[in-house]
Homo-oligomer: A and B are copies of this chain.
Amino acid sequence: MSVLIVGSTALDSIRTPHGARDRLLGGSASYAAVAASFFAPALMVGVVGGDFPTRYLSLFRRHGIDLEGLQRRPGRTFHWAGEYESNMNRRRTLLTDLGVFAEFRPDLPERYRRSPFVLLGNIAPALQLHVLRQLEKPRFVAADTMDLWIETARSELLELLRRVDLFILNDTEAAQLTGESNVVTALRRLHALGPRFVIVKKGEHGAILSSRSGMFVAPAFPLARVVDPTGAGDSFAGALMGRLARGRGPWESRLRRAIFYGSVVASFCCEGFGLTRLDRIQLRDIEARAALLRRYTRI
């Protein structure tokens, strides 16, 4: 089954201790759609400007991503520039030029509206809600977010949370939204806001899935070399939804497997700048690393 992915499409200029790259393909929808495409057909909704390089459109097409929902507008593509500190755990934004993204209105093409699996990638909660309203009986809806929206659009975010199946956020955002630094307690408070499934991402330390029936403590794949962590969270969410769309059985066990694959794909993402590494791997590489991670976690 297919996965509809809505989010940002951007050009990223990134500096890490391993080097610097200018105007890479970036944005939450780009990472998530490529990551999802290994497992399921991905339909993308985003917006790019007249300066968006053709080679990036080719990259999307090479991964079989449906681009009918990718809007092309006169103007500049969203451009973000950032820099990572030596241990990769903190990043500094150097530039945010919204360009055509400032006026982004994620209107879905007719045939996108019946998508069974939907990932509302990190964009303003009001836009995520706008997408929700256009959907016709989706089977499973996941939403990601970021610190900015928790701070500036809390009421829309809370409205959104009452209407999604899965909410994905990182540990810092979970503490920010709930006022609770303990992850287990934060998870309880997040459930009370609506979603029956919540995933708290912990970067190199893995992730925790929480549901009414308990928790799943998911490992991260231990990497010797992190070149660029940009997009790791979006790749995690995209791969997770792709794998979920392909699964069978009860949601809980499907989600566990999906998170495991999300971790594996996110680890590939970190091994290169932007999407360069994900663009070069295939499902068999993901399966090989998943087998290794299974070995690393077997008691």
Binding site for B on A (CB under 8 A): 86-87, 181-185, 188, 202, 204-206, 208, 214-217, 219-220, 222-226, 253, 256-257, 260, 293-299
Contacts and interface: CB of A to CB of B under 8 A. Distances in A.
A222 B226 contact: no
The main secondary structure of chain A at its interface with chain B is: mixed
Q: Which 5 A-B pairs have the closest CB atoms?
A: A205-B205, A184-B224, A217-B219, A87-B181, A217-B296
A213 to B, nearest CB: 10
Nearest to A223: B184
A220 B184 CA distance: 12
Contacts of A205: 202, 205-206
Nearest to A294: B299
Which of A206, A222, A293, A298 gathers the greatest number of chain B CB atoms within 10 Å? A222
Given A205-B205, A205-B206, A295 B183 contact: no
Contacts of A293: 217
A218 to B, nearest CB: 8
Contacts of A181: 86-87
A18 to B, nearest CB: 12
Given A257-B299, A296-B215, A208 B222 contact: yes
A219 B222 contact: no
A226 B180 CA distance: 13
B214 A256 contact: no
A296 B208 CA distance: 9
